[in-house]
Structure formats: structure tokens, C-alpha cells
Amino acid sequence: MTENDIIKKCKDGNREAFNRLVEKYQSQVVNIAYGMLSDKEDAYDATQEVFIRVYKNIGSFKEKSSFSTWLYRITANICSDILRKRQKSTNIISINQVYDDENKEIDIKDESPMPEEMAEITERQRAVRQAIRELSDEYRAVITLCDIEGMTYDEISQVLGLPSGTVKSRINRARNSLRKILSKKRELF
């Protein structure tokens, strides 16, 4: 069964077909939401809201773009809404806030690193995640979609509803900002 067949069944109200879409895309939506929101609980809440919105609005999906582009655009919009609400509720964001990211799995391609190497890797990852959290919302979104999710500039352009040139310049500026932030931690890199 193709994805288009599944979508047609979803439009007809088939819950099993909808569950298949959720299974296929759930981890990607969580990853995008986490990258944009920098908070696990908020990412899970956003993911739930994304699939509720998809379920309610699947009938409006016109299939002019791919389903994943439509889904990621909904994800980006919901995350942007959450970020706006956060900004209204507080204007102070602590850069010293503790995040429990130490339980994350680390993909290791060849052999297991020694404990010292593992500690360095973990510290580098923590520094990069913290640096991404320090970026503005617009830069965090493009970096997450491009460098973490591996989307092309055109896909990001569709997801965020921005011109391709704007996406390219934001990615360039975001990478430069990350370099500046991370240069303060040279011992890790």
C-alpha cells in the first residue's frame, strides 16, 4: 500500500491508516520539535498536537506537495506557536538551565570509545545542543531542519514558507553564530 493510498484511507476516516502514518513519522516529528523547542516534554506535547491537527485536517491536504512537507510545516507552525507563548510568559531564559540529555543514545559506528573519549563526546554534544538553544528561534528552526533532519533548502523553504534565498542566508548566519558560540569552548573542539 502506497502512502497516497494510506492518505486516501485517512481522508475516509480509517483510523488504522492514520495509525500507520503516525508510526511512520512520529520520531521525525519529535526530533524536529525537540530541535526547535529544546525541551523533551514540550517536544512530546507538540508532537501530540501535530497529529491531532493532522487528524482533524487531513481532508484539507491537497497533495500538491508531499505529505511529509505538509506535516513538517504543521510541526514548525505548532513549535513557533509554543515559542511565542513561552516568550509572552517570560522574557528571561536561563542559559544555565539544566537539561537531562545524558540518557540519550550515542550512535557509534566502529568500536566503542574509551570512557574518557565517551565523556568528551558527551560534553561536545551537550555544548552543541546548548549552543543551538542559544540561537534565535528562526536560526534554531533552520539549523534543526537542515543539519539535524537533513532536509534540503527547498524542503525547508516549503516547510517554513520562506523563499529559498532566505533559508540559505539564515542557515549561513545560524552556522556562523554557532561557530562564535562554540569558539568559546575551544577545548572541546
pTM, two decimals, is 0.59
Query: Around Cβ 146, how many Cβ atoms within 10 Å?
Result: 20
Tens digits of residue pLDDT in 97-117: 444 455 555 444 445 556 666
User: What is the distance between the alpha carbons of residues 142 and 159, in angstroms, rounded to a whole number?
Assistant: 10
Cell 517570560 belongs to 90
Task: Please answer whether residues 19 and 36 qualify as being in contact, where contact means their C-beta atoms are separated by less than 8 angstroms.
Answer: no
Which regions in the chain score pLDDT beneath 50?
91-100, 106-110
User: What is the distance between the alpha carbons of residues 60 and 127, in angstroms, rounded to a whole number?
Assistant: 41
